[in-house]
A and B are shown apart, each in its own frame.
Chain A
Amino acid sequence: GAGVSQSPRYKVAKRGQDVALRCDPISGHVSLFWYQQALGQGPEFLTYFQNEAQLDKSGLPSDRFFAERPEGSVSTLKIQRTQQEDSAVYLCASSLGGQGYEQYFGPGTRLTVT
């Protein structure tokens, strides 16, 4: 069956540009998570949706980061005025429920800001 998909897989942006990263979760999965993974580090939580509701955005590093999931399925992570420190892999995960349910991860989007 189809897993979590993300697009694009690779994105190069010039500093100051806006980017949009897309996540298609597994069909029927209620919960959707975004993580940021810097080189050589473990993923760090950015934000969490339950259906279309963004229940937790405590991990977003600045107000340049914005995420949405308007219909409770596909989600978009938008980064405005990108900075070099935004360079990382952005991972999306989905799960059937919330805490304790296994999260299924997508392949990630590698963002490089030059």
Chain B
Amino acid sequence: AQKITQTQPGMFVQEKEAVTLDCTYDTSDPSYGLFWYKQPSSGEMIFLIYQGSYDQQNATEGRYSLNFQKARKSANLVISASQLGDSAMYFCAMVGANNLFFGTGTRLTVIP
């Protein structure tokens, strides 16, 4: 069975600074995928970044990068140069058999 753990209920970051949101996972599958989604107050889940377990390099998408440490089973999201619009809930998720398993999320607040 898959499990996603996000241990930071809330995080604060100064505008223009970088922030790391933690995510650890557990699975017995040798091949798996990890996602990060952003959920602003409007409620829609917005895809940010994807990392496959066999990908040789850490995924990057603009200001988002994924610090993937397979041996530690961690997939932390790094947001560089934070903007006020980054304030939202962030969810780490793992691909299951037919669905995504989500963590409990981290609420990020960017301070001007």
Interface residues, chain A, with chain B CB atoms under 8 Å away: 33, 35, 40-45, 48, 55-56, 59, 89, 91, 93, 98-100, 102-108, 110
Q: In whole angstroms, what is the CA distance A98 to B52 when docked?
A: 15
- Distance between Cα atoms of A47 and B108 in the complex (Å): 29
Q: List 17 A-B contacts (CB under 8 A).
A: A41-B105, A42-B4, A44-B102, A45-B98, A45-B100, A48-B99, A55-B98, A59-B99, A89-B43, A99-B96, A100-B33, A100-B52, A102-B50, A105-B37, A105-B46, A107-B44, A108-B43
Q: How far is the CA of A60 from the CA of B75 in the complex (A)?
A: 29
Contact across chains for B96 and A45 when beta carbons are under 8 A apart: yes
Interface residues in B, total, Cβ within 8 A: 25
Within 8 Å CB of A59, what residues of B?
99
Docked CA distance A35–B98 (Å): 12
Q: Does B91 contact A (CB under 8 A)?
A: yes
- Interface positions, chain B 1-59, Cβ under 8 Å from A, are 4, 33, 35, 37, 42-47, 50, 52
Residue from B35, B37, B99 within 8 A of A33 (CB atoms): B99
**Known contacts A41-B104, A42-B102, A42-B105; A100 and B95 CB within 8 A of each other:** yes
